[in-house]
Amino acid sequence: MQFHTKQGSSIQLQYFTQDQVSTLSNYLHQLSPATKQRFAPHGFDEQDILQLYQHPSSVVGFTATEALSTQIIAYAIINLNLPEYEALRLRNYGIEVNEHDALFAPSVADAWQGAGVGTIMLQYIKEAVKKFGVKRLFLWGGVQSSNEQALRYYQKQGFEQLGSFEYNGQNEDMMLLL
């Protein structure tokens, strides 16, 4: 599906496919060290990506590319099966996880941050995951408390802050009702 950014650039959003493994690995490796440090739902090598997507019923990926290009400029992953460590942390906030919950981990290439790609992608993903019966999105691994830009973005998109936890620094758990 084709969209336009705030600057008028044309981008293509689609579900991640196996033929994008190499392109996705390149995208992830080209992120700045700061961005890499903030995105960690899986490894960046092709083998890590292939291993993650070997169970397509539980993990769904999305990519954004520049129109007429195969170069990925944004990527997000949805995990439809919350790992026990995530569910346990959410239960500590009084949330009972269920089959309508999913984890969300987005990333946007450094050069495209602030261009509206993340907002466009989230809108697309929200509609897509409703087809899987998802009613609540939780940030996969939370968001680092020091990542003020991301915190503002999530709040602007309607995510609710649930609480904080310590893991390699202070992190915030957030939830979006769909």
- Which pLDDT does position 176 carry in this prediction? 99
Residue 133: per-residue pLDDT? 96
Query: Which one is predicted more confidently, 2 or 10?
Result: 10
Q: List Cα–Cα distances, 45 to 27, 30, 60, 110, in angstroms.
A: 10, 12, 18, 19
Other C-beta atoms lying within 10 Å of the C-beta of residue 11 = 23
Task: Note the pTM of the prediction, 2 decimals.
Answer: 0.92
Helices marked H in the chain: 21-30, 33-38, 46-52, 84-91, 117-130, 148-156
Closest CA to 147 of 170, 121, 113: 170
CATH top class, domain 2-177:
alpha beta
Give the type of residue at 100: H
CB 93 within 8 A of CB 46: no
pLDDT surpasses 90 at 38? no
pLDDT (0 to 100) of residue 44: 94
Q: Give the pLDDT score at 100.
A: 97
What pLDDT digit, counting tens, does each position of 52-69 carry? 998 777 999 999 999 888
Mean pLDDT, the chain, rounded, equals 93
Tens digits of per-residue pLDDT, 64-83? 999 888 899 999 999 999 99
Q: What is the pLDDT of residues 114-162, one digit of tens each?
A: 899 999 999 999 999 999 999 999 999 999 999 999 999 999 999 999 9
- The fraction of the chain above a pLDDT of 70, given in percent, is 99
Residues β-bridged to residue 176? 137
